Amino acid sequence: MSYYDPVKLQKEKEDQKKHFYQEKDFILGKFGNEIKERNKDLTILSTTIKNLSVKHKQTQEKYDQLLKSLDEVQQIQNEVKKSEKEVLRLTGQLNTGYVENPEILKKKCKEEQDEVTILENELMKKSLELKGIQELKVHVQTLEDALQERLSENKQINTKLNEANQELEDKCNNIQQILDEKPKELTQEEKLDEKKKNLGQLPSCSGNVLYKTGERFGRIKWAPGFMQVVDGSLELMKQKESEVINSLDLVKQSRTIRKDKKDTKKEYCLEVRSCGESILFALENAPILNIWYKTLLQYPL
């Protein structure tokens, strides 16, 4: 675990939020263009369906009217047959001479023949209309099949759009939920435990330390890096990270013991080169080093 850093967490949250809005804009742009094209197709399809519906209604009305005309044609055919029989009967009377008034019969026969001609012409006209009705009916059926196919495609398109919108909404909600989560506030004890835990995870080994309080040697645990002592405080700076970990919570702060008050404050540094090498405390003030060494033994790194 890393140290609790509100500024760093806030920056990470802002970066996540910025990335979320960029991804959201990208997704909305991608699906927005597709939805726009689909809506354009749907508008054209709706207009086509409306026109087909109007045309279908007109065709149906005309079809019903022609069916009614077919009944009239059938009646005309029946009348023609009756007229033909009547003409034949009258013609037979003329041929046999069994006619009471030939002039009247001839006139009546001519009238019947004229009526038959008119009925035949009307019948031919109705037959042509019937043929047109049958062709129109086939065309209407074709249009209805095309309409059903477009409606099925429209249904599939709407299903895909709804699924895409739902997926986008779920993704946005999940990202927003992550962004809305607040980091857990750590207590002072938890912060201290966290620092101890992380400091304890640093690579360590034993190194010989020579300090100027006599010709004695001691051994302490140390980690590769850079230790800096300023006015009795100890800080460990890790070279691999641009971060300074203040270890004063682990090492008691020591004040400089100076016999000569005229001495100015100095900074004493110890560079740890690598594991296994001997380390020399190059310090000018032995009492300070003695305090640091005792402190390190009491609170080992």
At 54-107, the pLDDT tens digits run 777 777 787 777 777 777 777 877 877 777 777 777 666 666 655 556 676 677
| Six token digits for residue 211 | 């300090």
How distant is the alpha carbon of residue 191 from its chain centre?
40
Q: What is the DSSP string of 8-33?
A: HHHHHHHHHHHHHHHHHHHHHHHHHH
What are the residue boundaries of the structural domains of the chain, listed by start? 6-180, 190-298
pLDDT at site 169: 78
Distance of CA 286 to the CA centre of its chain: 69
pLDDT tens per residue across span 23-46 = 777 776 767 777 777 777 778 877
| Mean pLDDT lowest among 67-76, 85-94, 130-139, 269-278 | 269-278
CA distances from 267 to 24, 101, 232, 298 (A): 53, 156, 9, 23
pLDDT, tens digit, 9 for 90 and up, residues 160-173: 878 877 887 787 77
123, pLDDT greater than 70: yes
| Span 248-255, average pLDDT | 30
Residue 94: the pLDDT is 60
Looking at the chain, the whole-number percentage of residues with pLDDT higher than 70 is: 50
pLDDT of residue 191: 67
Beta-carbon neighbour count of residue 204 at 10 Å?
16
Q: Could you tell me which of 86, 137, 135 has the C-alpha nearest to residue 110? A: 86
**pLDDT band per the 50, 70, 90 thresholds, residue 184:** low
Q: What length is written for the chain?
A: 301
Query: What's the burial of 236, exposed, middle or buried (CB within 10 Å: 0-12/13-18/19+)?
Result: buried
Most trustworthy range by pLDDT among 38-52, 196-210, 256-270: 38-52
Q: CB within 8 A of 256, min separation 6: which ones?
A: 231, 232, 265, 285, 288
- pLDDT of res. 192: 62
Q: Is the pLDDT of residue 212 over 60?
A: no
Choose between 5 and 208: higher pLDDT: 5
Alpha-carbon span 36 to 41, nearest angstrom: 9
User: What is the average pLDDT across 144-149?
Assistant: 82
| Residue of 228 and 49 predicted with greater confidence | 49
- Whole-number pLDDT of residue 77: 75
Are 289 and 219 in contact, with CB atoms under 8 Å apart? Answer: no
Q: What is the structure's pLDDT at 26? A: 73
Residue type, 33: N
Identify the three-state secondary structure at position 230: strand
